[in-house]
Chain A
Amino acid sequence: MLKYITPWRVLIALVFLTTAIIVFIRFYGGLGTVTNLSDQTPWGIWVGFDILAGVALAAGGFVMAATVYVFQIKRFKPLVRMAILTAMLGYILFIIGLVVEIGRPWNIFSIFYSPNIHSPLFEVALCVVTYTTVLVLEFSLVVFERLGWNRLVHFHHKVSVVLVVIGILLSTLHQSTLGTLFTLVPHKMHALWYSQIQPVHFFISCVAAGMGMVCFEAFLSYRFTKHPLPTGLMRTLIRVMSYVLVLFFIVRIGDLAVRGELWRVAEGKPAAMFWLENLLFVFIPVVMIYRKLPLTAKRLFIISFSVVLGLVMHRFNIAVSSFEFVKSTGYFPTWTEFMLSIALVMFGFVAAGLAVYFFPMHPKEPKSDRLAGRETYRIAWPVSE
């Protein structure tokens, strides 16, 4: 009995318990009881982190699905399941976070009977609901395999590409539309973060962040299963990601230049924030990839973690800091706000860990794959025919 009690498990249990109490207080006394939100700062860390960053980091699901199923680059197949699993968990966490974040979650079905097609948030809501369903259906393959329902597995292989294509379209739409939300308030956001092509920025950055997250997840999967790290694939993925990161940076600087706001990158605190964000999201990863050092597992970990942190910071700056820079309200999240965000992340880790434990995430692979970690890593688990 005692061997099940580890420091990590105790910590996780404490965090979940505290969060449960916080959520109870929030639903009993209102959002104001556990947050520092106000009429002047209606959106805080729960929007910036749980929602914007959470969705972007779940982009790995559609990026990997597109790579393997549409562009038929089958080498990456070992990474697809984990990517889809984390995307599914990510969206489920996002929905849990959303239910706590919005004031009247019991009216959530309004989006079906009182739609406003002029609202970008309506489009996001609709896409997220549909895409989460698609992800559950995509992931159902793994469940069918686990249960040995072979006819369903067979059927799934036949229709999976349709699911994948729908999933990619839905992702493209809502990932970019989350950026469209912020095109509505040109004068309320700092010019370093406001952009009329925000949807483009959001889409490019989510693709890179999704790749970084897939790489990061591989470490997580390794931690739980001791399954060898597909470092060869991860290296390739990280290299492709670096192109996307550079593209993101160029588009961003170009956009600032076109709008005549480029001088702001050297002005005060916002500029410092801008460069810190780019340091984590673009410079550290790109420089590490292009220095002629071998991309060891440790370096891959640093790179992917840096990208994840950078993305989180970018989204938080969009949702909170950029508004603060224009009209300061002194918003800083309460510890209770941080706690919910931490709990959601932990919940994701635990759920992913359990899924890796119970489901065939790395099926039909040679038991002792001494070649693992090299480009020759080839898997023969069910292909679509």
Chain B
Amino acid sequence: MAIKSKGLLIDITRCIGCDACSENCKAVNDLPPQVAPELDSDNWTVVYRREQEQYVRNLCRHCADPACVSACPVAALTKEESGAVLYDKDVCLGCRYCMTACAFRILTFEWFSYNPRIRKCVLCDARIKEGKSTGCAEACPTEATVFGDLDTLVKVAKARIADQPKKYHDYIYGLDEAGGTSVLYLTSVPFEKLGFDMTVPKYPLPQLTWQVLKQVPTIVGVGAAFLGGSYFLFKRRAAVAAAEEAAKSGKGDKGGGHA
């Protein structure tokens, strides 16, 4: 049975910075319990403390059309039906192009492992398949993070802005960023003041590389025809020149053919 694409709505106005999401994330994903200040291979979500008691949670945005998925040469990253972007260590080369590609600089790597993996939030894909919510949303005491169908969450977010235009800054971060993500943010303060990257393009990034890559068959075809044609043309020209020279001098220079 198909499941609808899920997502998270993070309402920064409701967040109290208790770290319950980070802690439960670690519990449900079997990660070491200490919470770090920044995303790393053992911390898939962290809460930043910003000015005026604003708390901003960071995690993989599970883009609708993820740059990391298109970047991976060996399809180690995949976009699942649940909306989650998942990673398969068994095919991964460790090239880290996904990390370079990520528009939100989310992906992390096990820098001190002899057999390193890419690590990031998995949107609790396994729990979603069991019909549960994500670990972070389950733990949140103030419903600052809510889990649900992505299309419903978009409606909820828009309704909150419409109902309380004075409270909310009129922007849903994640609705258009990188062509849309599964994690949406609401805030009362402009996003740029909270450290959000407002330069992220508002279209799916994989199209940038694909519009070049799809030319490959044409380049090969035209290139092969050009090179083959040139070879026969110049070969013929050299042969004619050599023959003329041979006729003139009466005795051919075997090493000829120089232009």
Contacts and interface: CB of A to CB of B under 8 A. Distances in A.
Given A74-B258, A103-B109, A121 B116 contact: no
A169 B220 contact: yes
Contacts, number: 198
B93 A118 contact: no
Interface stretch (B11-19, B94-102, B127-135): B94-102
A120 B213 CA distance: 7
Nearest to A385: B257
| Residue from B76, B216, B237, B254 whose CB has the most chain A CB atoms within 10 Å | B216
A372 to B, nearest CB: 16
A180 B199 CA distance: 20
B146 interface: no
Contacts of A378: 255, 258
Contacts of B201: 186-187
A380 interface: yes
B205 to A, nearest CB: 6
Contact of A103 (B70, B116, B200, B258): B116
A102 B95 contact: yes
B178 to A, nearest CB: 10
Contacts of A118: 70, 206, 209-210, 213
B96 to A, nearest CB: 4
A199 interface: yes
A180 B74 contact: no
Interface stretch (A15-23, A35-43, A355-363): A35-43
B34 interface: no
Q: Across chains A and B, which 7 residue pairs bring their CB atoms closest together, nearest first?
A: A103-B94, A32-B111, A380-B255, A72-B234, A122-B73, A104-B94, A42-B99
Given A32-B112, A70-B230, A116-B75, 19 more contacts: A30-B114, A39-B108, A72-B238, A110-B93, A111-B74, A118-B70, A118-B206, A119-B72, A123-B213, A123-B216, A165-B224, A169-B223, A177-B212, A180-B213, A183-B212, A184-B67, A185-B100, A187-B201, A199-B212
Interface of A: 27-33, 37-40, 42-43, 66, 69-75, 101-105, 107-108, 110-111, 113-125, 161, 165, 168-169, 172-173, 177, 180-181, 183-188, 196, 199, 323, 327, 378-380, 383
25 contacts: A31-B109, A39-B40, A40-B105, A42-B100, A66-B227, A70-B231, A72-B231, A72-B257, A102-B95, A104-B115, A114-B91, A115-B73, A115-B74, A119-B71, A120-B212, A121-B73, A124-B73, A165-B228, A168-B227, A180-B212, A183-B212, A184-B71, A184-B205, A184-B206, A187-B197
Interface of B: 39-40, 67, 70-76, 89-97, 99-101, 103, 105, 107-116, 197, 199-201, 205-206, 208-210, 212-213, 216, 219-220, 223-224, 227-228, 230-231, 234-235, 237-238, 254-255, 257-259
